Structure 1
């Protein structure tokens, strides 16, 4: 059951702005790029009209599930890592399927508000190679002809990069070519930045990666698209229409939800409306996502 204050404040049906928390000497910040509107029955195909009638707090006025689109800035001293790169300066709408509409473009402004220039980002660590996570790694900077983050290393799991032909078959050959110039593949358990370790969790894609960030006695799991909406925390068996292997994702999500209920553990859900940081509370009524704002 979602927190009543969060429902009353409308946080489950609006995209997030900049939000930051500290893990000891490490600061992590959600950097918004835009938002996505999703058709709930097509996204979570095990749901029904009755489910959404009982949970209107997740939907906007047009009946769409609201998701945030952006990246996670990880700062340690003078160093900066970005996990995922938003959708970039573009818009897209689809007449059917899970995706109704998506737009990006705000990430450079968000970085500036956080006191960072694109050149400060030493690497972009991708959870997976979908367009709403590649964004500014492939799209030119405003007024320029090179991608905004082209100076950075692009960290991609070995399995995901090996399966890039799946992207090319979906018409993303241009994006793959742009990434190839900067790619450095990473492996399960590898430390890619101080206190940041890769965890390979196939299911949503063939080489989907999570990033576990530790500091100050706490850990944060940036779980990418293993979970698309906070409602799945209550129903981990509900896989997404975007998942490459829904059964495998559901198995992982069950383990992830249990892990997020452990002490001193925070989750980061990049698409989680305005509750991108949270923890799982076990209250006898099933797991529930509780926002963490500090």
Structure 2
């Protein structure tokens, strides 16, 4: 893997999944304190994995969305952080700086206007995944908001803006042609991925079930922000097994400049191979 890609955020990236066009739509970047996403790694393993840290010893991550296009129809998975920025919190063990704002411009680069998005589906309801769905006036004027039922049942006040257009779904439900919900709880109670399938190929958009490619090599490393670390690890291992199938690609929204990839066998178990 090219180490420099691990230390920069991703630009717009596009690939095909069968007949579907799938694009990463950047909204901004995050600089995460390594003690948050990978707490078990801090003392013993960072000398080995220092390539994942930038010059300020932060993990570079993205905030953004995944655009799925089927001809004239368009789905967005997650909605970035929105038009704002938050500085690093020195007193918090893992909250780093986050800035958004680029999603509408990057949708335009991809030839899509926000009003063309018919559905926005959320992996979970954290602020860096619902940002542009909560702005006034609404950015996605025609879209339905697909929310996992278990996640909605545990929602906080920040999700109130979604309620008028919320449509609740369960694991296995189809949210868009070829796109089905996949339960991956642990990071939050209703955390959900989405399986995008067409013509014998599939892509798993797994949200925050994996925050760093390092968790593929070390699935026992749960994030400091996981609601249920044991459950998160259990589903992470199941997810990694699915990603090892030869017909399967993965999308990690927070994976720096390696958002799309495959999981391959490795002496240590498995490894992320970016596209």
Task: Please give the per-residue CA displacement for 1:184-242, whole angstroms capped at 9, x wherever unaligned.
Answer: 10111011111000112211111111100001321000000001001111000000011
Partners of 2:35 and 2:70 in 1: how far apart?
A: 41
Deviates more, 1:121-130 or 1:44-53: 44-53
Q: Contact (CA 8 Å) 1:41, 1:49: kept in 2 or not?
A: no
The answer to whether the aligner puts 1:52 opposite 2:46 as a matched pair is yes
Q: Quote the offset at 1:282 in angstroms.
A: 0.2
Q: Match of 1:69, SS? A: strand
Specify the alignment match of 1:170 in structure 2. none
Specify the alignment match of 2:143 in structure 1. 152
Quick one: which of 173, 187, 195 aligns to 2:178? 195
- Structure 1's consecutive aligned runs of 4 or more residues displaced over 4 angstroms after TM superposition are none
Q: Number of aligned pairs? A: 273
How does 1:54-73 map onto structure 2 within 5 Å? 54-73=48-67
Q: Quote the offset at 1:46 in angstroms.
A: 1.0
Specify the alignment match of 1:103 in structure 2. 99
Quick one: which of 247, 254, 261 aligns to 2:230? 247
How does 1:195-234 map onto structure 2 within 5 Å? 195-234=178-217
RMSD (Å) for aligned C-alpha atoms: 1.1
How does 1:27-38 map onto structure 2 within 5 Å? 27-38=21-32
Q: Quote the offset at 1:49 in angstroms.
A: 3.0
Q: Match of 2:130, SS? A: helix
Deviates more, 1:74-83 or 1:54-63: 54-63
Partners of 2:44 and 2:218 in 1: how far apart?
A: 15
Specify the alignment match of 2:242 in structure 1. 259
Q: Contact (CA 8 Å) 1:239, 1:249: kept in 2 or not?
A: yes
Q: Quote the offset at 1:151 in angstroms.
A: 2.6
Partners of 1:69 and 1:249 in 2: how far apart?
A: 21
Q: Quote the offset at 1:286 in angstroms.
A: 2.1
Q: Quote the offset at 1:45 in angstroms.
A: 1.4
Task: Please give the per-residue CA displacement for 1:29-88, whole angstroms capped at 9, x wherever unaligned.
Answer: 000000101110233211133411221211111000110110000000110000000000
Q: Quote the offset at 1:139 in angstroms.
A: 1.7
Partners of 1:231 and 1:38 in 2: how far apart?
A: 14
Specify the alignment match of 1:122 in structure 2. 118
